[in-house]
């Protein structure tokens, strides 16, 4: 099969290789998916640069979509021909979705409604499920005020939509007017231009000095300051799924205690079985109802995987970068 892989850490242009690898066969309990698309996420870029190499070839990317073309023992043959999207395709395993075929446990290939295209479906495993879990952990959002940090990002775009659907007043941080328009189109009520405005001062203005009920955060290394400067209400909640700094982050304890704040952290690759099932059920229903807007920012053929990685690293794309196979 055609595939892209690397066997050492480094820049995309230096380490990504294109070529042929053996087509995988599904083991017991597995399905094989003939992939149509592969989603490129920031975590894929970080893995290529820093995750220790443990195998001869690392095929990147956890997200993708396609059609089941073979099944292993114990899996119904009726699944052959089923359109599916994939989660955790390259989590704790060397071969991901930047290739023509992937074999993986049957439950990691989720039925895809006929009206959803494969490019959009390559956005679900990490971006959409991360947003679903963040909103799930935030609790009942009806009539709450919610700040979505980086609302135009792949995860933020979905999180903002989900919060709006639950009846929240949504405020998003953005880095440009183009990104502001991008999030307004999915119902974000107010935007904060974090490059030119004080985020905490704007929060106080927009909340009449009360602060946010909930913050959905993608960079705890900077957003932790919101817990100490009055940006979050008493008994408010910050839900976080990432940080741009790998090392320690120091928080101010007293405001957390005296304001009875709740901090919740999670890794989308490592959800509990209960949370995973909740997320899959909820997202499936949203997809069936055609309730979400999917932002595919750019598509590249497999031979341009280096350009795809560089596009993600640029931080300039509004939405997901997808590779077509």
Summarised one tens digit per residue, pLDDT across range 19-36 is 999 999 999 999 999 999
Burial of 250 (0-12, 13-18, 19+ CB in 10 A): exposed
* Cβ proximity of 196 and 176 under 8 Å: no
pLDDT 10s digits, 254-280: 999 999 999 999 999 999 999 999 999
65: nearest Cα among 27, 109, 104, 32: 109
pLDDT band at 316 (very low <50, low <70, confident <90, very high): confident
Q: Can you list the domains of the chain with their CATH numbers? A: 2-123+294-324 (3.90.180.10), 126-269 (3.90.180.10)
SS3 assignment, position 243: coil
157: nearest Cα among 172, 168, 169: 172
Q: Give this prediction's pTM.
A: 0.97
Residues in the chain: 325
Report the pLDDT averaged over residues 55-70. Answer: 97
224: nearest Cα among 265, 283, 282, 258: 265
* Gap between the Cα atoms of 130 and 133, Å rounded: 5
Burial of 283 (0-12, 13-18, 19+ CB in 10 A): buried
Runs of H (alpha helix) within 85-243: 118-121, 129-138, 154-165, 177-184, 199-206, 220-223
Ramachandran area for residue 212 (φ above 0: left; ψ -120 to 50: alpha; else beta) = beta
pLDDT band at 196 (very low <50, low <70, confident <90, very high): very high
Res. 246: pLDDT tops 90 = no
DSSP assignment string, 252-304: -HHHHHHTT-EEEE--GGG--HHHHHHHHHHHHHHHHTT-----EEEEEEGGG
pLDDT score at 77: 98
Q: Cα–chain-centroid distance for residue 252? A: 28
Q: Is the dihedral of CA 223, 228, 231, 232 positive or negative?
A: positive
């Amino acid at each position: 099969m055609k595939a892209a892989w690397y066997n050492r850490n480094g820049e995309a242009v230096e380490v990504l290789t294109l070529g042929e690898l053996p087509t995988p066969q599904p083991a017991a309990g597995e399905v094989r998916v003939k992939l149509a698309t592969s989603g490129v996420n920031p975590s894929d870029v970080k893995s290529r640069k820093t995750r220790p190499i443990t195998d001869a070839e690392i095929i990147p990317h956890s997200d993708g979509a396609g059609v089941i073309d073979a099944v292993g023992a114990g899996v119904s043959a009726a699944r052959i021909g089923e359109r599916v999207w994939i989660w955790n395709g390259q989590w704790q395993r060397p071969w991901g979705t930047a290739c023509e075929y992937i074999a993986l446990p049957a439950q990691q290939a989720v039925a895809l409604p006929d009206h959803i295209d494969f490019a959009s479906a390559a956005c679900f495993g990490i971006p959409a499920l991360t947003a679903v879990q963040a909103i799930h952990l935030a609790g009942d959002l009806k009539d709450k005020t919610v700040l979505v940090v980086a609302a135009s990002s792949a995860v933020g775009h979905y999180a903002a939509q989900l919060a709006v659907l639950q009846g929240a007043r949504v405020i998003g941080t953005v880095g440009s007017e183009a990104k502001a328009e991008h999030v307004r189109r999915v119902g974000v009520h107010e935007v904060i231009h974090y490059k030119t405005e004080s985020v905490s001062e704007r929060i106080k203005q927009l909340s009449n000095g009360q602060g946010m009920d909930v913050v959905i955060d993608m960079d705890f290394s900077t957003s932790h300051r919101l817990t100490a400067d009055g940006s979050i209400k008493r008994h408010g909640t910050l839900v976080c799924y990432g940080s741009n700094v790998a090392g320690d982050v120091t928080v101010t304890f007293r405001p957390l205690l005296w304001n009875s704040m709740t901090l919740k952290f999670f890794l989308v690759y490592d959800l509990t079985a209960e949370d995973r099932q909740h997320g899959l059920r909820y997202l499936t229903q949203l997809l069936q109802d055609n309730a979400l807007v999917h932002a595919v920012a750019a598509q590249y053929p497999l031979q341009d995987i280096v350009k795809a990685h560089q596009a993600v690293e640029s931080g300039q794309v509004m939405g997901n970068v997808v590779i077509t196979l």
